Structure 1
């Protein structure tokens, strides 16, 4: 009798708890997975090829002197000098002596011209009185003409000497950066001998060799991506030289660059169009899920469920890539956390306030 009284309450207790347990099991759905999403962009797409290039100064010059002489001073390698400022100074003492000689010649011939002019005036009055022959008059007039020409020559010599004195200081033809010294102070230089190699650091461009196949798709002023190991920027095509080498079938293209972005002499890569533009959709490269069965992306539908969509890839556009498939019209694409998803999984899209540590924790 005692046993029966104990069992009945136990059965009643189980009846109370088992229905609740069944309800909990029915509602035990997996939690929504935290993912990071980005947009699917509809844009004009063109295939690109990446070609190597070299950063050059628009002006790369070798400076020389118009006069000969001993170098007394020269700018150091690495110095930046403004246009019109001296970069090389030569000893001008010999030229200054020549200038004194030229001034003396001017005075000499000026005195000769004055003397002959006075004689011509006197002889003219004598000739009027028929006290002098025509031959004598012609001779004195010829001497005066010669003296005047010598005076003109003497003045020209002085002007040339003064010009050479000015040129004994080689000045910067533009804002320059001294790259290399080819002679040093104390050495003697002759006319036209190269003294310095300089560049204009404010105007740089990239010189690239591109295949002739890009000619139909590129034009002057077009914006193209330029990158190196540090950054990628978009710049414009300055000029196209549509003449190919007989062996390589390559032509030269010049791309304008910002001097603050790239170093002269550095290597860059330039993306050039290699097909006609067409409309398409692009996603970040991180959105691609690569499996043996194919390539997929996950888009989030209106019910916050991940939809697995098979895609094929097309042209690459920097950090984005063209995809082709049955994409959702307005669904964002998962770019982080997709490797943990299955088709139909409930997801929770990350907001701007959620940190990368939270996403990593969710992945773990």
Structure 2
């Protein structure tokens, strides 16, 4: 075979194929290189952008700002001069509301069948007012019989008196002796005595009949009723009505032994029934002379005026004023405590914090009363005292305490 005639040699064919395959490879390498250049450019831009932000923040920082660990910046604290205020000493207690003088009402007479009940719980009654009536049909007949006996005895007495008067007119004429006069006088006196006996028996019956009605022993407020018409009652039936004399109420506040010793008769108090936002003024009228050995508590009885909101048996809280003193008053944030006791920080003339031990008095919503330790003229640190050290210099901000 002749390879030279009108053909291409083997070497030339291979060269042509290699040129065709090399062009796509060069394109791929160019694309990869371009991508790498773009990524490098983006990374460099991000690096320089972050470096610029850091420099900007450093440049805009407040001049003269103290470093976290150095510089010794002076802290600012709020201070006040508390002065002295009148502090009312208050003792708190809880207890039940009751009638100050509760009168149990029952059957005073022999009793019987109840015919009518005239009052209901919550009714106001007068002294001697009938609360319920008892059947008196038999007793009424007895009283009528005794009344007739009185009239018979009175008629006999009138007849004896008339005979005695006629005898006295005849004695001077000698028709009747003096002995007859004496006899007729005795007869008249006996008749008069029988009249008095009959009258006494009638009055006794009328009194018994009057006791059949159940009456209020004094004016007041009916608290309970335990009788109905048709009921048979007697002296052994127990309490049928309970009446609060004059409608007077009280609260029996239970106090601890130490608090009871601070309470005296006549001191004012405020009572707030459970479930009510209304308070009622009163005063202590009796302090228990004994202490319960089981609970170690005593009772202070607080008298209050009648009000519909004060229901006997209800529960209430009481605030009893036991006196008043003059002392500095501070908010609770100003008084600190540690193992050595209570203390406050005050500022001296150089605005340096100084620790001052204090004795805490009564604590109330108004604040903490300081019994001793400060006079009220000092500049007392109100807040941030827990972060101060004795002798530390501060920048004070003076404020006024709200009373």
Task: State the Cα deviation string for residues 235-292 of structure 1 (Å, max 9, x = none).
Answer: 3221335456788776553222243364322334555688x965322346x6568788
C-alpha displacement of 1:57: 0.7
C-alpha displacement of 1:151: 1.7
C-alpha displacement of 1:128: 2.9
8 Å CA contact 1:287–1:298 kept in 2: the answer is: no
Alignment match, 1:94? 138
User: What 5-or-longer segments of structure 2 have no aligned partner?
Assistant: 1-55, 66-75, 347-352, 389-394
Task: State the Cα deviation string for residues 299-335 of structure 1 (Å, max 9, x = none).
Answer: 9xxxxxxx9998856233542432466687498997x
Alignment match, 2:104? 62
User: What 5-or-longer segments of structure 1 have no aligned partner?
Assistant: 1-16, 300-306, 352-364
8 Å CA contact 1:43–1:282 kept in 2: the answer is: no
Greater strand proportion = 1
In the alignment, the residues of structure 2 paired with residue 288 and residue 233 of structure 1 have an alpha-carbon distance, to the nearest angstrom, of 34
Q: 1:263 is paired with a residue of what secondary structure?
A: coil
Q: Confirm or deny that 1:189 pairs with 2:236.
A: no
Alignment match, 2:152? 108
Q: 2:126 is paired with a residue of what secondary structure?
A: coil
Q: 1:279 is paired with a residue of what secondary structure?
A: strand
CA RMSD of aligned residues (A): 5.1
- Max radius of gyration: which structure? 2
Alignment match, 1:7? none
Q: 1:264 is paired with a residue of what secondary structure?
A: coil
Task: State the Cα deviation string for residues 109-160 of structure 1 (Å, max 9, x = none).
Answer: 1211121111112222333334334444333222211211222233334444
Q: Which moved more, 1:244-253 or 1:85-94?
A: 244-253
8 Å CA contact 1:49–1:272 kept in 2: the answer is: yes
8 Å CA contact 1:83–1:176 kept in 2: the answer is: no
Q: Confirm or deny that 1:43 pairs with 2:86.
A: yes
Q: Which moved more, 1:250-259 or 1:145-154?
A: 250-259
Pick closer, same or farther for the CA change 1:73–1:134 going to 2, 3 Å.
Answer: same
Q: Which residue, 185, 189, 192 being the options, matches 1:145?
A: 189
Matching of residues 147-226 of structure 1 within 5 Å: 147-172=191-216, 173-181=218-226, 183-191=227-235, 193=237, 194-200=239-245, 202-208=247-253, 217-224=262-269, 226=271
In the alignment, the residues of structure 1 paired with residue 164 and residue 133 of structure 2 have an alpha-carbon distance, to the nearest angstrom, of 49
Alignment match, 2:360? 314
Task: State the Cα deviation string for residues 203-235 of structure 1 (Å, max 9, x = none).
Answer: 112234556666774432122455554556663
In the alignment, the residues of structure 1 paired with residue 335 and residue 318 of structure 2 have an alpha-carbon distance, to the nearest angstrom, of 28
Alignment match, 1:279? 326
Q: 2:240 is paired with a residue of what secondary structure?
A: strand
Q: Which moved more, 1:142-151 or 1:94-103?
A: 94-103
Pick closer, same or farther for the CA change 1:227–1:180 going to 2, 3 Å.
Answer: same
Alignment match, 2:300? 253
In the alignment, the residues of structure 2 paired with residue 53 and residue 349 of structure 1 have an alpha-carbon distance, to the nearest angstrom, of 39
8 Å CA contact 1:55–1:266 kept in 2: the answer is: yes
Q: Which has the higher contact order (CA 8 A, sep 6+)?
A: 1
8 Å CA contact 1:116–1:143 kept in 2: the answer is: yes
TM-score normalized with structure 2 length: 0.58
Q: 2:219 is paired with a residue of what secondary structure?
A: coil
Q: 1:154 is paired with a residue of what secondary structure?
A: helix
In the alignment, the residues of structure 1 paired with residue 345 and residue 115 of structure 2 have an alpha-carbon distance, to the nearest angstrom, of 73
8 Å CA contact 2:108–2:235 kept in 1: the answer is: yes
Q: Which residue, 300, 304, 314 being the options, matches 1:266?
A: 314
8 Å CA contact 2:86–2:324 kept in 1: the answer is: no
Q: 2:181 is paired with a residue of what secondary structure?
A: helix
Q: 2:328 is paired with a residue of what secondary structure?
A: strand
Q: Which residue, 114, 133, 143 being the options, matches 1:71?
A: 114
Q: For this pair of structures, how many residues does the alignment match? A: 319
Q: Which moved more, 1:226-235 or 1:136-145?
A: 226-235
Pick closer, same or farther for the CA change 1:308–1:118 going to 2, 3 Å.
Answer: same
